[in-house]
Structures are given as structure tokens and as C-alpha cells.
Amino acid sequence: MSAALLVLLSIPARAQTEEAFFRGRTVHVIIGFAAGGGFNTYGQVLAAHMGQYIPGKPTLIVENMPGAGTAKAGQYIYAVAPQDGTVIGLLHQGLVANQVLGLQAGEFDVTKFNWLGRVGTRLSVGLVWHTAGVRTLEEARQKEVLLGATAQATTSVMVPTAINRLYGTRFKIVEGYQSSAEMYLAMERGETQGLGIAGWLDLTGARADWVRDGKVFVLYQIASARHADGPPVPALPELAKSEDDRRILMLLASTEDMGRSFVTGPAVPKPRVATLRAAFGKMMQDPDFIADAKAKQLDVDFLAGEALQKLVESVGAFPPALAARAKEIVKP
């Protein structure tokens, strides 16, 4: 029997094996943030639609595991959870940059996760509340501004810290919030005066009145270049005064290219990873999924698992000498 024929015969057998494995099982979707924020919504939408495309149609349920800027969830998926494809997760987009900078809170290698796919990129911005007395980055160089954040080694802390060091702003970062929802509420209550990172989609959707009525002022885009449909404020690399500074700010901006991306464990068998990636890709083409995501104001910008894996590896190859300087710049 020819090798080609053996491969063809193995495909349906493998499909039957995958179907038998997943039938009647539960796939746990671990979200590294508390319930109530945007990350949780991405997980809920995926859980509602992806199961039908996995052979055997398992049930998907969302579980929140906040802590250490999603490093707690990352550590669980990497080293504790079953390595059989029944646990997938959504982690903070800054974990790749954290590893480059030597700031990872967990003992795991992000390049070793099996990356399943990206749902969307979601342009993020820094903003201040109208009572802060600041409307531009230039004004933030003259006056201290309290920004709500989650934890060290997250974009909400690293980006404003880097802007302080490289551009001269006077952001004071208040850590400890568990989700974007908590950070928005803290700003409205007056506990803080802004956010180091917020979703632009929030400010054109559910909170569009904030921009329209002058309740908030956007200071910068966390992006490698200005988004044409974003606010008319600088992208991070525009704040650089040297080429090395620009590369550091580009590293921080690259976290947004990671967007809302899902992983499974590093030791999950490759055929099972391929099954999950295929299911993820089919879900992303499902009109019902797309409609649900848009109804919940989620950005949809698909990147397949294979391409996402290469992106993670490319960011992870940042020059070590420059990474050492960058680490000092983003350190609170």
C-alpha cells in the first residue's frame, strides 16, 4: 500500500478518534481576568459558538482565574491543566512582551503555548476623565495624573510608565483593579483620573457619549502606527527621541497585534491542536458568531493559529541587549 494511500485512510480514522475523545466532555475556557470586563465577553462569545465545530461537540464553559496580569491563568494552562485540549485560555496580550523584558510573573514560555487563533486586535488607547485638568500628553508633562491599572507587567502599567520615562509625563499608576469595568468605575467615582489602557471600541460604542460630550480625553494610541479610524492622537512610536526608544515603544505596541488570542497547553498533542485550530477557524467564519461578536461590540480581526504562532515567536526574538534597557524603562 502506498504512503499517500495510508495518509488518506488515516484522516477519517483520526477524525473518528477526535470525535470519540471530545464527545460528552467539557472544554474549560480560562479567562485570566475577573468577570465583567471585555476579556470575559470574548470568552463567553467563543464558548457559545466554537463547540459545534469541534468533533464530538463538547460543552464549553467559561471560568475566570484572575491574578498577576493573567500570569496565574497562564501558569495553570502551561503546567497544571490537563494537556489534552480540554483547557484553553485567553491571556493578556502583553505576555509576549513581558517575556522579552524578563517581567513574566509565571514560570512559563509563551512561545511554547499552542496558539489557536486571534479573534480581534482591538485598538487600545490611554485616556483621562474630564476633571483631571489634562487634555493632551503635553499637558500631562506638567501635571500629575492618576491612572487606574491592573498589575505590574501588564500593558496598563508598562505603557504609561514607559511614556513617563521616554516622554516626560507625570502619570501616577494605581494598581489592583481586576478588569476594565472596575477601572472605568473607579475613574467615574474619582478614585483615579484615567486609564493607561482602554478599548477604543468602548468609546465608539457603549461609551460613545463620553467622547461626544467631552467626559474623556484620549491621549495616545497603543499601536505601531495611528489607526485611520482611531482618535487623532499619537501612536506610541511617535513619542520616541531615538531609534532605540522607537524599537522599545514598538515592542509595547506589538502587544496589540496579539489582540484577543486563545491558547492551549504546550504539551497538547499536535493532532488535537490542529483540531482546535480548525474549529476556531470555522467559528470565525460563522455568520452567527460574527453577528454575536458585533452585537457585543467586540472587534473581529481573525488571525489563524499557525500565523499567530509565528508572530509570537518573532516578537520573542527581540534583541537581548535592547530588552535589558527596555526592562528598566517599563519598571514601575
Tell me the per-residue pLDDT of 280-290, one tens digit each, with 9 for 90 and over: 999 999 999 99
Look at residue 4 and tell me if it is in a domain. no
Confidence of residue 16 (pLDDT cuts 50, 70, 90): low
Specify if 89 maps to a domain: yes
pLDDT number for residue 92: 87
* pLDDT class of 9 with cuts at 50, 70, 90: very low
Residues 102 and 172 in one domain: no
* Backbone phi, psi, residue 251, to 5°: -60, -45
The residues near 53 (Cβ < 8 Å, ≥ 6 apart) are 278, 279, 280, 282, 283, 286
Instruction: Decide the pairing of beta strands 145-148 and 171-174.
Output: parallel
206 and 263, same structural domain?
Answer: no
Give the integer Cα–Cα distance in Å for 133 and 153: 28
Q: What is the pTM of this model?
A: 0.76
62-75 pLDDT tens trace? 999 998 889 999 99
How many domains, the chain?
Answer: 2
Confidence class for position 232, pLDDT limits 50, 70, 90:
very high
Distance of CA 297 to CAs 41, 47, 206, 290, Å? 10, 17, 8, 10
Residue 55 sits in a domain of what CATH number?
3.40.190.150
Task: Return the H-helix or E-strand segment holding 264.
Answer: strand 260-264
Q: Are residues 150 and 210 in the same domain?
A: yes
Q: Note the pLDDT tens digit of each residue in 168-212.
A: 999 999 999 988 889 999 999 999 999 999 989 889 988 999 999
Co-location of 14 and 59 in the same domain: yes
Same domain as 102, residue 148: no
Q: Could you read off the pLDDT of 128-160 as tens digits, one per residue?
A: 999 999 999 999 999 999 999 998 878 899 999
Q: Domain check: are 68 and 169 in the same one?
A: no
- The answer on 128 and 117 residing in a single domain is no
CATH code where residue 176 lies: 3.40.190.10
Give the residue from 255, 271, 300 where a domain finishes. Answer: 255
Where a domain ends, among 236, 255, 274? 255
Same-domain pairing of 131 and 102: no
pLDDT band at 22 (very low <50, low <70, confident <90, very high): very high
Evaluate whether residue 329 is within a structural domain. Answer: no
Q: Residue 85 in contact with residue 264, Cβ under 8 Å?
A: yes
Distance CA 132, CA 38 (A): 25
User: Is the predicted pLDDT of residue 252 greater than 60, yes or no?
Assistant: yes
Q: Are residues 62 and 111 in the same domain?
A: yes
Mean pLDDT, rounded, of the chain: 92
Tell whether 332 is covered by a domain: no
Q: Is residue 34 part of a domain?
A: yes
Closest CA to 134 of 180, 181, 172, 183: 172
Q: In the prediction, which pLDDT does 8 show?
A: 47
Q: Quick one: pLDDT band at residue 42, thresholds 50, 70, 90?
A: very high
Same domain assignment for residues 17 and 107: yes
Region of 74 please: left (phi>0), alpha (psi -120 to 50) or beta.
Answer: alpha
Alpha helix positions (H), 24-106: 38-49, 71-75, 95-100
Range of the domain at 291: 10-121+259-319
Same domain, 83 and 156: no
Q: How crowded is the C-beta side of 55, counted as CA atoms within 13 Å?
A: 19
